[in-house]
Amino acid sequence: MTLVVQKYGGTSVGDADRIRAVADHVARTCRQGNQVVVVVSAMGKTTDDLIRLADDVSRTQPPRELDMLLTAGERISMAVMCMALADAGIDAVSFTGSQAGIITDTAHTRAKILEVRGDRLRQALDEGRVPVVAGFQGVSTARDVTTLGRGGSDTTAVALAAALGAEACEIYTDVTGVFSADPRVVPQAQRLRRLSFDEMLDIAASGGRVLALRSVEFARNHHVPLHVRSSFTWEPGTWVVEEEPTMENAVVTAVTHDTSEAKLTVSGVPDHPGLAARLFRALADQSVNVDMIVQNVSQHGTTDISFTVPTTDVPTTLQTARAFGAEIGAKEVVADAGIAKVSLVGAGMRSHPGVSATMFETLAAAGINIEMISTSTIRVTCVVRADAVERAVQALHTAFGLDGA
Ligand code: ASP
Ligand code: MG
């Protein structure tokens, strides 16, 4: 018998009708002779609503209590899903993250999975039952309830698939797969049939929002094939798999964009060894997630350092960078929220030179100024003005032949 893990996101379980539709699909999968483990997210925007409630109630929000609150969303989903499955003639049993044996570290609101003790799930499967697990949550080594960070249900599903040795992890969502660009920006974007883990990682990291980044890392490290597909049409979607040496890779697979970062510039930094180290250590100590970094050629013994951070980290970053700037006599620290990143991702870039050149030419022809550049083996990213980013994505999608026939 084949074991599959099926994860259903918030929109897939958004209301009673959706939940019944999912239960029917799970029942169908079982009748086809498969074993199924179901992982559910909170219904619709429940997690956002709970966060708003916490904001209304409290300025302090002890992280332990915030986690306790947020895990309630997935608890509702798992219980009603089991009820709907019972109506569909399936013997289902719900498990919280803790009951499912998902052991995490103690970092509340962004805990990491340390171990999965799946024995209760295995036992349920052996008894012919369908385990329905609350996503996004676990229990810490200090025996407190934790959450895995926003979008964490994907990670729960992949971790369970790895621990139980599932054939595949199906991620059901409200889109039909991973696309060559955001279809809201590029209507002619194509659904990708098959991607490597590395490509999916770079797509997720550079703005493609279909899968949580950590779940892709987990899938790559544990060799879990992912199938991203729609719970509205049930058609086959996008497979994310190990790269095969024989695969003929497209030079550019996808154009992604991200408007969630801001650019910080510290100007007039004395050009001495160790100052960048101090700045970025101070930011790291505040858990600021620095992305791109550019340091200018020094002039008159000082230099400018620019870097990008998530917009949500701007207040902390400004405070930290300004304190640092005052200490070392830097000129000023400014934040610029009007930027966006546009990226090209493709495994074929490894063996095809000239991708960056074509990218820069395309942006130049569209009259779009490039403010920062970074590259990895299979990705090129440019920072541009936020109000130009959609035009940039469209121009690049066409220039790299992704518009399709
Ligand atoms: N419900 C959580 C969130 O909205 C986890 C998830 O959906 O994956 O972030
Ligand atoms: Mg979600």
What secondary structure does DSSP assign to 88-145, as a single string?
A: TT--EEEE-TTTTTEEE-S-TTS--EEEE--HHHHHHHHTT-EEEEETTEEEETTS-E
Q: What is the DSSP string of 138-183?
A: EEETTS-EEE--TTTHHHHHHHHHHHHT-SEEEEEESSSS-BSS-T
Q: What does the pLDDT read at residue 297?
A: 82
For the chain, give the longest Cα–Cα distance.
77
Is there an atom of ligand 1 within 6 Å of 153 CB? yes
The pTM score is 0.91
Residue minimizing CA distance to atom 4 of ligand 1 = 47
Q: Contact, 197 vs 216, CB < 8 A?
A: yes
Q: What does the pLDDT read at residue 246?
A: 64
Q: Residue 100 C-alpha to ligand 2 middle, in angstroms? A: 20
β-pairing, 130-134 vs 92-95, is parallel
β-pairing, 293-295 vs 302-310, is antiparallel
Residues with CB under 5 A from ligand 2 (ion): 9-10, 41
Is there an atom of ligand 1 within 6 Å of 73 CB? yes
Q: Which of 150, 155, 231 to mutate to test the pocket of ligand 1 (most atoms within 8 A of CB)?
A: 150
Is there an atom of ligand 1 within 6 Å of 10 CB? yes
Residue minimizing CA distance to atom 5 of ligand 1 = 151
Left (φ > 0), alpha (ψ -120 to 50) or beta: where does 124 sit? alpha
With H, G, I as helix, E, B as strand and everything else as coil, classify residue 346. coil
Q: Where are the beta strands (DSSP E) in 328-370?
A: 332-336, 339-345
Q: Cα 10 from chain centroid?
A: 15
Residue whose entry in the numeric block shows the structure tokens 């209760």: 120
370 by Cβ neighbours in 10 Å (0-12 / 13-18 / 19+) ranks as middle
Is there an atom of ligand 1 within 6 Å of 112 CB? no
Residue whose entry in the numeric block shows the structure tokens 């039909």: 176
Residue 155 CA: nearest ligand 1 atom is 8
With H, G, I as helix, E, B as strand and everything else as coil, classify residue 43. coil
Is there an atom of ligand 1 within 6 Å of 135 CB? yes
Q: What does the pLDDT read at residue 405?
A: 58
Is there an atom of ligand 1 within 6 Å of 152 CB? yes
Query: Domains of the chain by range and CATH?
Result: 2-174 (3.40.1160.10)
pLDDT tens-digit profile, the chain (405 residues): 899 999 999 999 999 999 999 999 999 999 999 999 999 999 999 999 999 999 999 999 999 999 999 999 999 999 999 999 999 999 999 999 999 999 999 999 999 999 999 999 999 999 999 999 999 999 999 999 999 999 999 999 999 999 999 999 999 999 999 999 999 999 999 999 999 999 999 999 999 888 989 999 999 999 999 999 999 999 999 999 998 766 667 899 999 999 999 999 999 999 889 999 999 999 999 989 999 999 988 888 899 999 999 999 999 999 999 999 999 999 999 999 999 999 999 998 988 889 999 999 999 999 999 999 999 999 999 999 999 999 999 999 999 999 985
> Cα angle vertex 22, ends 132, 166, to 5°?
50
Which among 388, 377, 296 is positioned nearest to 342, based on CA atoms?
388
Is there an atom of ligand 1 within 6 Å of 71 CB? no
Q: Where are the beta strands (DSSP E) in 213-338?
A: 226-230, 238-241, 254-258, 261-270, 293-295, 302-310, 332-336
- Main-chain dihedrals φ then ψ at residue 34, nearest 5 degrees: -100, 155
Query: Rounded to an integer, what distance in angstroms lies between the CA atom of residue 133 and that of residue 125?
Result: 13
Residue 74 CA: nearest ligand 1 atom is 1
Residue 48 CA: nearest ligand 1 atom is 4
Which among 173, 189, 297, 298 is positioned nearest to 237, based on CA atoms?
173
Q: What does the pLDDT read at residue 255?
A: 98
Is there an atom of ligand 1 within 6 Å of 20 CB? no
Query: Rounded to an integer, what distance in angstroms lies between the CA atom of residue 120 and that of residue 114?
Result: 18
β-pairing, 102-104 vs 113-116, is antiparallel
Q: Contact, 278 vs 324, CB < 8 A?
A: yes
Q: Which of 13, 47, 69, 78 to mutate to test the pocket of ligand 1 (most atoms within 8 A of CB)?
A: 47
Q: What does the pLDDT read at residue 61?
A: 96
Which ligand is located closest to the Cα atom of residue 43?
1
Q: Residue 153 C-alpha to ligand 2 middle, in angstroms? A: 7
